[in-house]
Structure 1
């Protein structure tokens, strides 16, 4: 097991470099960059006083150099650029839109983004696991039809609309402030017990809104996998031998049906971040989603590149967690299929 963990962690290193290259290619695809667009706008309006400063910034951050050299500077493998050491040295870059380091722009949003994603994933699995088992073991019952109907409603309802409805009732029934991840009086204040409790209370609405679609999909996936296992010959044989239904379910079919269910942990993270951008804007959530949207619109390449790479790192961590859980659940995985 230790060898498998080390091998998976070492595999993440070249994977992360490939992802960083693809991320840099994506943010470089649109013609020009933030400074080039600003220079073009100033020339169109006849203002030339600030062009020299923008040209200086363009050279300062190596935006006038070849593509490969810019990539190596960005990740920190090309020395000699003043003010930008690269990601490997802990320098996340400079945000031209906000005129401050990327670390200061995304610093307050990263912990809240991680907390929101972790809460959403926990919600998806805690809700979908028992419902999926219930629907599979009571196929075509009223409960199965009811959960299926609710799942389809969750998939069909736009997240932003569901968020607005839940915000209204949360404010009406529980007095929660509309939008945000904490009460207004805690914004900008140091962490305390009251602030933590306020964050937990405000996490309920976005967690349910963002996790609804993923929960419905997980329920259908676990139900289908478990139904497939329950109709196999070994289950019929075990029942004929008098094995208790609960013991039979837990020991054999459920374990086999959980493999695809657990493998989706890593796939959930990028879908949650990308799917929560509109929800974050509507609910005024201080996460990286709205910041990424603004960065892509303004071609703030260092800011957009770091956020995309941050999501990729979260995805790799999620895949590692799912692989380790699968290795514990299924010995064939950690033994390379030899068992």
Structure 2
């Protein structure tokens, strides 16, 4: 296993935010990937991450819902808050079992206030719009977030799963510090337009699911060993039986290369993301300290341009079977919003 040479720090975006070069995605501690894990274990994991230099913590009001922010709130007590860069998200309005995406100003304000209370903090360092409300002009949503910055409730504004045009329009209202997007060996659709747009505008890039939702850590065993409640078993197309057998070949090739490199498959896949540039911060999630240590070790794995190309050939678009999400799920592909002139709301 590759040894760790320290996590290090990086500038995220152009407005002054500095974070650890690798973050910690906290979603799986509370939601979507099986039953919630014990609070005490997850708090110990978070503290271990922070003490190891992984100080960029990522959550959302959707995770649980709400319980992941409450967990983070507990973990931040006792002086931990001052050591971390805290990111959370809003957009999913939940009522009577239904879920809708909202970006109207009233909801932006109420969601932020609720997150501040659950997290037990006065200010969120980076606050993302988790998904784009295609009914509300992005200028209106960003205007509300700008007011939260002015009120001292958030420091920096982010977007998640936003198209290039949406990012441009948002950035014209208030500087966007980071765009969170799915980027991994087998999810590369963002490279064509979104990544270049972020770089042109000086926006930091936060890569979620950099290990392909855990696929590059254990391949098909991930699904074989997952509890029934794990959404990967039933929800994500790439993990369904009709796609998994072909995708398993990708993992085997990555795993073989990892053995040659003297690292794990997950370290190799994560190192590929780290090698995308100094403006990219991956936020792999985990619920185990051993996996956290492995992820940190990925920072020490060095890849040549030839090795990068070899890895990419294993997971080219024509090889990967299945989409990132089921059809009609909100992603950057359907994140365009109406023109500001159409807005008749508050």
Q: TM-score range by the shorter chain?
A: under 0.3
Name the larger-Rg structure: 1
Give TM-score, length-normalised by structure 2: 0.25
Name whichever structure is richer in strand by fraction: 2
Give TM-score, length-normalised by structure 1: 0.26
